[in-house]
């Protein structure tokens, strides 16, 4: 998508030259940091990984930020995982910036699909592969690099080491959707109210080399639908053709969620919204998504409308017998987990209720339908008119050698943004991060471009320096 980049002749300002040189010199340490933290399999699901690994990761994060003079500690959040949280007061009259990231990672999915071991940071063709390399451990090490570059040779304990104050929050179970930090923040709002600016470093760049501030996020809610029809499974030869088949019923129900074109067709879920910001090119999308030759983009509207302005639904999983080992039987029960994404401007509870009502309404053959829903993730829309937004936008442009910073929507959901906006409505919240479309976050063979870590860390350091200098 580099055709989207708008570059003007660039003469780097003096602070860009100076801090840029420091960040360049710090890159070997950044890569060591990333190697160490990626090596700890911090999946916050005790069914997958021993929780001791998450504690080990939390301790690594704590020690790294303590070294930089941020007085953090392990803080238990309501789900029993630890966030690494701390506050370093601002110099007199200077603002405080909340730096957010998370140190937990997604499960690795199919290990055989990984071309190198998921917890061993591995370089291939200039990219660094490993689970969490981009989401979000790459952002974590970018925060560390920015802090180191800012204080340069000043001792971390020196009160004058930094031009601004910090609240540091490294969450320990972001990928689990348990809203644990959200509940912690609601119970401990004072800490979060100290921030004048909140950098949620868990988004990413619209294209490699194009600095991006994410200004809109879809909310999300998961719905599980379970269909039952028989007391037990039945021989498909003896009973098939007459007995109500729970799996066939579920397939019919799921098929009604979209029309032939691919647009959602659930009554009460509107799908005609239009995205006002940067366009997402058709070819770029095909390439970013890795669409196979001959496949068509589904649904109507432009790509940006579909990704950032409209709701969507994805079937995340289906409970049904596996192909290998399947027997000739009619299924008495089947279930699916659906993921509903909700754009700014829509009410996630209303869309969830519309989906659930639809599933009950279209169930065929009198089958029993039960539904349950997960936590509601509300959509987010950033205020882009604040001073910090402009300051950060300019700092990123300088860090990216003059490439204009763009604003885009984010496909994912970060419910914490809404919680923080509720607790501290005065603070400016901006979202950015090191992943690019090639990062394949949440998928196998996740990777990061180390240049994106370098440039984001530089942009962050420049922003913090300039913010402090303005005070
Ligand atoms: Zn993340």
Please tell me the distance between residue 341's alpha carbon and the centre of ligand 1 in angstroms: 16
Please tell me the distance between residue 111's alpha carbon and the centre of ligand 1 in angstroms: 20
Predicted local confidence at residue 471, as pLDDT? 79
Position 299 in a domain: no
CA 70, chain centre distance (Å): 25
Position 265 in a domain: yes
Catalytic residue among 104, 196, 398, 428: 104
Q: Flag whether pLDDT at 2 surpasses 50.
A: no
Please tell me the distance between residue 127's alpha carbon and the centre of ligand 1 in angstroms: 18
Residues 466 and 409 grouped into a single domain: yes
Q: Which domain holds residue 53?
A: 2-217+379-470
Please tell me the distance between residue 84's alpha carbon and the centre of ligand 1 in angstroms: 15
Mean pLDDT across the stretch 262-285?
92
Residues 317 and 391 grouped into a single domain: no
Residues 391 and 357 grouped into a single domain: no
Q: Flag whether pLDDT at 194 surpasses 80.
A: yes
| Per-residue pLDDT tens over the stretch 412-462 | 677 789 899 999 999 999 999 999 999 999 999 999 999 999 999 999 999
Count up the domains in the chain and report the number: 2
Predicted local confidence at residue 175, as pLDDT? 92
CATH code for the domain in which residue 395 is found: 3.40.630.10
Position 298 in a domain: no
Residues 43 and 126 grouped into a single domain: yes
Last residue of one domain, picked from the residues 373, 403, 427: 373
Predicted local confidence at residue 330, as pLDDT? 98
Residues 323 and 458 grouped into a single domain: no
| Paired sense of beta strands 234-235 and 329-330, if any | antiparallel
Please tell me the distance between residue 202's alpha carbon and the centre of ligand 1 in angstroms: 5
Q: If you average pLDDT over every residue of the chain, what do you get?
A: 95
Q: Flag whether pLDDT at 257 surpasses 80.
A: yes
Predicted local confidence at residue 4, as pLDDT? 53
Position 240 in a domain: yes
Q: What percentage of the chain carries pLDDT values higher than 90? A: 90
Please tell me the distance between residue 14's alpha carbon and the centre of ligand 1 in angstroms: 33
Residues 17 and 63 grouped into a single domain: yes
Position 79 in a domain: yes
Please tell me the distance between residue 453's alpha carbon and the centre of ligand 1 in angstroms: 15
Mean pLDDT across the stretch 66-79?
98
Residues 233 and 195 grouped into a single domain: no
| Per-residue pLDDT tens over the stretch 286-334 | 998 999 999 999 999 999 999 999 999 999 999 999 999 999 999 999 9
Last residue of one domain, picked from the residues 373, 397, 420: 373
Q: Flag whether pLDDT at 22 surpasses 80.
A: yes
Predicted local confidence at residue 411, as pLDDT? 59
Mean pLDDT across the stretch 14-32?
98
CATH code for the domain in which residue 358 is found: 3.30.70.360
Residues 240 and 327 grouped into a single domain: yes
Distance between the two ends of the chain, CA-based, in angstroms? 37
Catalytic residue among 33, 68, 174, 288: 174
Q: Flag whether pLDDT at 374 surpasses 60.
A: yes
Position 300 in a domain: no
Residues 204 and 250 grouped into a single domain: no
104 is catalytic: yes
Last residue of one domain, picked from the residues 373, 396, 422: 373
| Per-residue pLDDT tens over the stretch 131-155 | 999 999 999 999 999 999 999 999 9
Please tell me the distance between residue 135's alpha carbon and the centre of ligand 1 in angstroms: 5
Please tell me the distance between residue 168's alpha carbon and the centre of ligand 1 in angstroms: 16
Residues 186 and 224 grouped into a single domain: no
Position 302 in a domain: no
Please tell me the distance between residue 321's alpha carbon and the centre of ligand 1 in angstroms: 32
Residues 42 and 138 grouped into a single domain: yes
Position 17 in a domain: yes
Please tell me the distance between residue 440's alpha carbon and the centre of ligand 1 in angstroms: 12
Residues 63 and 199 grouped into a single domain: yes
- Tell me the pLDDT band of 1, cut-offs 50, 70 and 90: very low
């Amino acid at each position: 998508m580099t055709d989207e980049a708008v570059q003007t002749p660039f003469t780097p300002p003096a602070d860009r030259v100076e801090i840029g040189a420091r960040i360049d010199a710090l890159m070997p340490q950044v890569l060591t940091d990333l190697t160490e933290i990626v090596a700890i399999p911090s999946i916050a699901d005790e069914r997958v990984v021993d929780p001791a690994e998450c504690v080990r990761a939390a301790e690594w994060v704590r020690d790294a930020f303590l070294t930089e003079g941020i007085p953090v500690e392990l803080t238990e959040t309501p789900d029993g995982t630890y966030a690494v949280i701390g506050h370093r007061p601002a110099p007199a009259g200077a603002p405080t910036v909340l730096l957010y990231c998370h140190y937990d990672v997604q499960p690795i999915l199919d290990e055989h699909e990984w071309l190198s071991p998921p917890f061993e940071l591995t370089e291939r063709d200039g990219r660094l592969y490993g689970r969490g390399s981009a989401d979000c451990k790459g952002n974590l090490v970018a925060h560390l690099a920015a802090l180191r570059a800012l204080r340069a040779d000043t001792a971390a304990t020196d009160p004058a080491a930094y031009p601004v104050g910090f609240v540091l929050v490294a969450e320990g179970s972001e990928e689990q959707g348990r809203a644990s930090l959200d509940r912690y923040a609601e119970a401990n709002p004072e800490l979060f109210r100290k921030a004048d600016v909140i950098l949620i470093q868990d988004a990413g760049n619209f294209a490699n080399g194009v600095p991006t501030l994410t200004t809109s996020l879809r909310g999300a809610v998961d719905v599980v639908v379970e269909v039952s029809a028989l007391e037990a499974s039945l021989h498909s030869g003896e009973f098939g053709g007459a007995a109500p088949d729970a799996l066939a019923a579920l397939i019919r129900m799921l098929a009604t969620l979209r029309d032939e074109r691919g647009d959602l067709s659930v009554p009460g879920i509107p799908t005609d919204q239009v995205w006002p910001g940067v366009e997402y090119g058709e070819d770029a999308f095909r390439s970013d998504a890795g669409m196979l030759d001959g496949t068509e983009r589904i649904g109507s509207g432009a790509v940006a409308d579909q990704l950032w302005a409209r709701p969507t639904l994805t079937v995340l999983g289906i409970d049904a017998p596996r192909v290998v080992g399947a027997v000739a039987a009619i299924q008495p029960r089947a279930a699916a987990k659906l993921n509903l994404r909700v754009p700014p401007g829509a009410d996630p509870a209303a869309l969830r209720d519309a989906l659930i009502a639809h599933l009950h309404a279209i169930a065929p053959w009198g089958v029993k339908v039960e539904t349950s829903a997960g936590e509601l993730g509300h959509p987010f829309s950033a205020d882009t008119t604040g001073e910090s937004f402009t300051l950060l936008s300019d700092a990123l442009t300088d860090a990216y050698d003059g490439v204009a910073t763009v604003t885009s929507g984010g496909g994912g959901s970060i419910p914490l943004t809404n919680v923080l906006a509720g607790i501290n409505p005065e603070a400016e919240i901006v979202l950015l991060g090191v992943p690019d479309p090639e990062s394949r976050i949440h998928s196998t063979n996740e990777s990061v471009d180390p240049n994106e870590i370098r440039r984001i860390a530089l942009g962050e350091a420049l922003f913090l320096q300039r913010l402090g200098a303005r005070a």
